[in-house]
Amino acid sequence: MKQKTGIIQRDPFDRVKREVKSVSSYLKALEKKTLRDDYPTQRYSEYWEKQKQYDLVSTILHGYPIPDIIIAEEINDNDTYWIWLLDGLQRLSTLAMYRNNAFKCGKNTDNPIISYQLIVKDEDGTTHIENKEYDIRGKLFRQLPPELQERFDEFNIGATKYLACTPDDIEYHIRRYNNSRAMTAAQKGITYLGGEYAKVAKKIVQMDFFRDKGNYTLASFKNGAMERVVLESIMTCFFIDDWNKNPNAMCSFLQEHAKVSHFNELQSYIERLDEIVENKEEIPMFNSTETILFMPLFRKFTRFGLDDSCFMDFLKAFDIELRNKSVNGTTYEEIKTQGGTKDKAVIMNKIELLTALMTEYLGTEESTSVSADEEAIAIDNDTISDFIDDFTARDIVLSHVDTQAQKNMVAVQSLMAVGVDDIMLPWEIDNATPQSFIETLQKKEPEVIDNIIENTDLYTDCLEDWIKNIDNNSPLLNRENIPALVGLAKYVCEISIDDDLFMDWLENYALGYTHTEPLSVSYLCERLDTYIAYIHSKNSGNSQPSAALEAGA
């Protein structure tokens, strides 16, 4: 066995082993979480139908062998590890439920008469064996004879164990072992999403709104359809231009481009809808097919600045009459009959038509509530325009900024963070806006403009190198903080600071970051200065440790 940088590496022939344990051992491991059955991309345990559960109990009590379960060892960065149950989830879940008296074997149980031997003593003390039979139909585990309870607990199940797996290895094995077990397209697609987002998506599916007020079938909660509703809603809300109806392609795209903040924003919309909806009869459109149209519609509504009850009024009017109202020569119901319900063009046409119906009904427009970071900035300088085009194509912008208007604003604000001190007087800076900064900059000599742009590019290059070790979902990297981070990069490049010391501070600061308001350049610089002073004092023996400062606060 070789070991490198904390990750166990094994030769391919040493990465799989087989082991055998009793039912009771597996169930205890599941209860203690030493064997985890909740890998985020795994399908739900209740997917098995009752008949299969009854027949499995019968098979175990007869002592007949069952296929191996599949488990995987995932090594963490700190050399700890998790053991995940990848295949056999339904089998062990069924056995756990029966062991806990959660169900009785039904009348259609296959081969329900179980034979066993009973050791008895006669009145004279002679010991002999009697052959017994027991009908398990209609019986809970606690009603079984002690001999059959013991047989159940001690039944051996084999396991194929994959060692030193990465998350990608685990998701590959989940797909591989489920290929022959009728895994739905949605269930298979979510294995391309990655564990973190899959876990968040499943958490959203469990929200009261979907179960109590939405019009979704029970099966949709078992076969992965609800996770697909959530993920497709993320796509239509935030990435409609990149829509792909193929679940595998969609989940792969979201794994690369989505952020936790997108899921949090969707969750906030669902919570708001839950507040205004009384019962599922009011919102028949929130079903497995149409939810992905009305979620982005509600997102558009939130920019109007109206009370949420107004959206509920629109939904009621839509259900009664507006679904048959013509917009540009067609109605919503007519588009529904055209087929291709998941085609990109159809999705976009429906959302556009719904938006037109809603804005007309409410007598408002989305543009009446444009946020400050989406305001248009007038730019009459080709050099500055070219800079903005290049800046908005950077990875840090593409990964953390949604709309083009927001990307343009982040570019201007980053330029401002670097150059405002060079082109404005101190009393002008306090009241400076992105538009006033651009107007002032455009009046400067070309050399001044070129110098500020060149420096902004340099400092942003540094920033993108530094954040490679930071979780891409850290709220520190939210769009409103990018300009301040670019300004911080300027400060770091201008002062003398050890690279390792700065990176320790930045990574710790990102881990503990909880601010809700946008950061300023001055605040970040002050935090860094405080940390540097603390470390220097600590190294000289003049300071007691502080948990907050140790964490880079």
Which residue has tokens 């963070």? 417
pTM for this one?
Answer: 0.46
pLDDT digits (tens, 9 = 90+) for 479-492: 889 999 999 999 99
Where does the pLDDT of residue 64 fall: very low under 50, low under 70, confident under 90, or very high at 90 and above? very high
CA end-to-end distance (rounded Å), the chain: 40
Q: How many domains does the chain have?
A: 3
Q: Are residues 170 and 317 in the same domain?
A: no
> Is pLDDT at 298 greater than 50 in this prediction?
yes
Where does the pLDDT of residue 186 fall: very low under 50, low under 70, confident under 90, or very high at 90 and above? low
What average pLDDT does the segment 496-517 reach? 82
Q: Are residues 169 and 194 in the same domain?
A: no
Q: Are residues 112 and 211 in the same domain?
A: no
Where does the pLDDT of residue 4 fall: very low under 50, low under 70, confident under 90, or very high at 90 and above? very low
pLDDT of residue 226: 85
Q: Are residues 395 and 427 in the same domain?
A: yes
> Is pLDDT at 109 greater than 70 in this prediction?
yes
DSSP state of 466: H
Q: Are residues 200 and 313 in the same domain?
A: yes
pLDDT of residue 516: 63
For 31, counting Cβ atoms within 10 Å of its Cβ (0-12 exposed, 13-18 middle, 19+ buried), the class is exposed
Q: Are residues 270 and 332 in the same domain?
A: yes
Structural domain of residue 436, as residue ranges? 375-550
Q: Which of 481, 491, 434, 437 has its CA nearest to residue 459?
A: 491
Check residues 516 and 265 and name the one with the higher pLDDT.
265
Where does the pLDDT of residue 85 fall: very low under 50, low under 70, confident under 90, or very high at 90 and above? confident
pLDDT digits (tens, 9 = 90+) for 10-30: 455 567 888 999 999 999 999
Q: Are residues 365 and 380 in the same domain?
A: no
Q: Are residues 49 and 73 in the same domain?
A: yes
Where does the pLDDT of residue 296 fall: very low under 50, low under 70, confident under 90, or very high at 90 and above? very high
Q: Which of 233, 175, 171 has its CA nearest to residue 204?
A: 233
Q: At which of 348, 369, 390 does a domain end?
A: 369
Q: At which of 369, 390, 419 does a domain end?
A: 369
Q: Are residues 13 and 151 in the same domain?
A: yes
CA pair distance 312, 90, nearest whole angstrom: 40
pLDDT digits (tens, 9 = 90+) for 256-280: 777 777 888 888 889 999 999 998 8
Where does the pLDDT of residue 496 fall: very low under 50, low under 70, confident under 90, or very high at 90 and above? confident
pLDDT of residue 46: 47
Q: Are residues 347 and 214 in the same domain?
A: yes
Q: Are residues 305 and 452 in the same domain?
A: no
**Inter-axis angle of helices 225-238 and 260-276, to 10 degrees?**
100
What average pLDDT does the segment 149-177 reach? 86
pLDDT digits (tens, 9 = 90+) for 329-388: 899 988 887 766 788 888 889 999 999 999 999 987 544 334 455 566 888 898 999 999
